[in-house]
Amino acid sequence: MARRTKKLRILVADDHELVRRGIRGQLHARRGWIIVGEATNGQEAVEKASKLKPDVAIVDISMPDLDGLQATRQIREATPSTEVVVLTMHESDQMVRRVLEAGARGYVLKSDLAAHLVKAVKDVSLGKLFLTPKVSEMVLKGFLKTADEHDLKEHLQARLTPREGEIIRLLALGKSNKEISSELGITIRTAETHRAKIMLKLGMHSLAEVIHYAIRHKMMSAPGVSE
């Protein structure tokens, strides 16, 4: 008997009908992908995500009632299994940081929607981080430009153990301490201790900094696995 493939369930939240129509047109063409709901404002997006529990929510950053950042935080709190791709017109390193800290794993410029939305949805559904190429380049340049020379030297010279490197990769992929402990076969307390020591060693204060570090040092793939 043929094995049934689990459908990828997607929620689309944007207050413009033309944008939602364009997204539907791109995603409907993908076999095994299904749009389970649409929302026209941030509050509706949160409510539908809580009810429908989609695998991926595509959220516009500028919506009435509740903006995309607030909606993303609430969606991630209500349904942690739902990954979020944020759509925006803003090419700002600061905005990228805010989006990632809100819990989104994908950042797509509306100008790049046609070229990169499908890959963004696919990547975040697999637990990967996705930034459109233009944004990724901007983030890395901004990080290098604004980093204090002393801190940058500390980042480059910090000697991480293989275990610490693996924990950074898992943190950058959005794994919780509980998930890390399960994947690595260690206790949650040990995972928490490793995390605290890594943040201290690298002088980091937020998950966004961990993600930037992992991207810059090409640590997002599992050892021996190419992107």
Token representation of residue 198 = 């890594």
CATH class of 142-216: mainly alpha
- Phi then psi for residue 178, to 5 deg, are -65, -45
Q: Where are the domains of the chain?
A: 8-133, 142-216
Residue with structure tokens 């890395």? 140
Q: Which helix (H) or strand (E) holds 41?
A: none
Write the DSSP symbol of residue 7.
Answer: P
CA–chain centroid gap for 21, Å, is 24
Nearest to 172, CA basis, from 137, 139, 217? 217
pTM over 0.75: no
Print burial letters for 49-86: b (CB count within 10 Å at least 16), e (below 16).
beeeebbbbbbbbbbeebebbbbbbbbbeebeebbbbb
Nearest to 30, CA basis, from 99, 125, 155 = 125
Class of the domain covering 8-133: alpha beta
53 has pLDDT over 90: yes
Range in 10-14, 16-20, 71-75, 127-131 with the lowest mean pLDDT: 127-131
What confidence tens digit (pLDDT) does each residue in 137-181 have?
A: 776 666 555 555 455 545 544 567 888 889 988 988 888 888 999
